[in-house]
């Protein structure tokens, strides 16, 4: 029986793989036999790659060049978009890297992907409220052109909480695009929504809220945050043939904390105190 988890013979474009979840996922995919084309603002050192592209993912033209150069080397079987910025960074940059760049890279890569291909992105537990925010998200979701989308972001930045906004956009884009993309091109698109995870981004979240907030944050599994590897395996699964009937899915990788808080079986004391 063929191992559907194997990445043997698959060429995988990784955007955001210097550190954290992207770096861990690239190591996992390499161990499963995949060939990696790496792209990041910083050069990764912990796994082997066919080629490294130094890129600033805020730049739409650079994303187009990255995809064109990658496609010249062969088919793009899998896309992993793992780059991200925390909400401590400027609003426009956060939305550019976390959502507009993700969508632009996926959409630009699609014509170079074979049927049976797959792409995965990373949202966040911070995107949990997307259902109630759809009217606020749709204006940006409906602007497909990278330049026009960034113009909208520039014009509306004062009204936006960039991190959760970018993560809600990523979820809604993934859920809406999944089925049409599967029908039209035979390509699967999914995302994960991690809870707090020990990566270089974590201290930024603490700075933005407080240590007390994260001490109190529900950690159902082992009373600890996730590791980057624990986020990497679900990403590797979603882009593998083992997930061949999963498309347009947002997989919560938060140890169950978000669902339990939403449905009231876990209380988040700090949040409750804030609401008083």
Ligand X SMILES: NC(=O)c1ccc[n+]([C@@H]2O[C@H](COP(=O)([O-])OP(=O)(O)OC[C@H]3O[C@@H](n4cnc5c(N)ncnc54)[C@H](O)[C@@H]3O)[C@@H](O)[C@H]2O)c1
SS (H, E, C) the chain: CCCCCCCCCCEEEEECCCCHHHHHHHHHHHHCCCEEEEEECCCCCCCCCCEEEECCCCCHHHHHHHHHHHHHCCCCCEEEECCCCCCCCCHHHHHHHHHHHHHHHHHHHHHHCCCCCEEEEECCHHHCCHHHHHHHHHHHHCCCCHHHHHHHHHHHHHHCCHHHHHHHHHHHHHHHHHHHHHHHHCCEEEEEEECCEECCCHHHHHHHCCHHHHHHCCCCCCCCCEEHHHHHHHHHHHCCHHHCCCCCEEEEECCCHHHHHHCCCCCCHHHHHHHC
Q: Which residues pair with 251 in a beta bridge?
A: 192
Near ligand X by CB under 6 A, which window of 27-35, 45-53, 81-89, 138-146?
81-89
Taking CB under 6 A as the rule, does residue 55 contact ligand X?
A: yes
x/- string (CB under 6 A) for ligand X, residues 133-172? ----------------------------------------
Residue among 34, 194, 218, 232 that touches ligand X (CB under 6 A) = 194
Taking CB under 6 A as the rule, does residue 255 contact ligand X?
A: no
Number of residues that bind ligand X (CB under 6 A): 29
Taking CB under 6 A as the rule, does residue 85 contact ligand X?
A: yes
Give least dist CB 235 to ligand X, A.
10
Taking CB under 6 A as the rule, does residue 77 contact ligand X?
A: no
Residue 206 burial (C-beta neighbours within 10 Å; 0-12, 13-18, 19+): middle
Give least dist CB 62 to ligand X, A.
9
Q: Which is nearer to ligand X, 182 or 237 (CB)?
A: 237
Residue among 31, 42, 90, 111 that touches ligand X (CB under 6 A) = 42
Taking CB under 6 A as the rule, does residue 56 contact ligand X?
A: yes
Give least dist CB 254 to ligand X, A.
8
Taking CB under 6 A as the rule, does residue 97 contact ligand X?
A: yes
Taking CB under 6 A as the rule, does residue 66 contact ligand X?
A: no
For the segment 105-134, give every residue that binds ligand X (CB under 6 A): 122, 124
Taking CB under 6 A as the rule, does residue 21 contact ligand X?
A: yes
- How far from the centroid of its chain's Cα atoms is residue 73's Cα? 24
Q: Which is nearer to ligand X, 201 or 216 (CB)?
A: 201
Applying CB under 6 A, the residues found at the interface with ligand X are 16-22, 40-42, 55-58, 82-85, 97-98, 122, 124, 194, 196-197, 199-202
């Amino acid at each position: 029986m063929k191992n559907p988890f194997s990445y043997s013979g698959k060429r995988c474009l990784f955007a955001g793989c210097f550190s954290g979840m992207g770096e861990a996922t690239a190591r996992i995919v390499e161990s499963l036999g995949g060939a990696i084309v790496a792209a990041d603002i910083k050069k990764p050192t912990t796994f082997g790659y066919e080629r490294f592209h130094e890129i600033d993912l805020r730049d739409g033209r650079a994303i187009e060049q990255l995809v064109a150069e990658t496609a010249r080397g062969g088919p793009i079987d899998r896309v992993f978009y793992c780059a991200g910025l925390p909400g401590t960074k400027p609003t426009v940059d956060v939305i550019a890297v976390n959502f507009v760049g993700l969508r632009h890279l996926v959409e630009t890569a699609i014509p170079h992907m074979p049927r049976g291909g797959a792409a995965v992105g990373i949202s966040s537990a911070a995107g949990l409220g997307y259902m109630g925010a759809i009217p606020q998200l749709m204006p940006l979701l409906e602007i497909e052109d990278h330049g026009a989308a960034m113009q909208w972001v520039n014009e509306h930045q004062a009204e936006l909480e960039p991190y959760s906004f970018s993560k809600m956009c990523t979820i809604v884009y993934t859920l809406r695009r999944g089925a049409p993309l599967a029908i039209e091109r035979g390509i699967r698109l999914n995302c994960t929504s991690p809870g707090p995870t020990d990566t270089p981004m974590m201290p930024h979240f603490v700075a933005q809220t407080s240590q007390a907030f994260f001490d109190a944050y529900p950690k159902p599994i082992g009373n600890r945050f996730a590791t980057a590897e624990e986020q990497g395996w679900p990403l590797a699964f979603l882009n593998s043939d083992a997930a061949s009937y999963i498309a347009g899915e947002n997989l919560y990788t938060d140890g169950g904390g978000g669902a339990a808080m939403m449905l009231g079986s876990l209380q988040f004391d700090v949040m409750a105190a804030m609401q008083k």
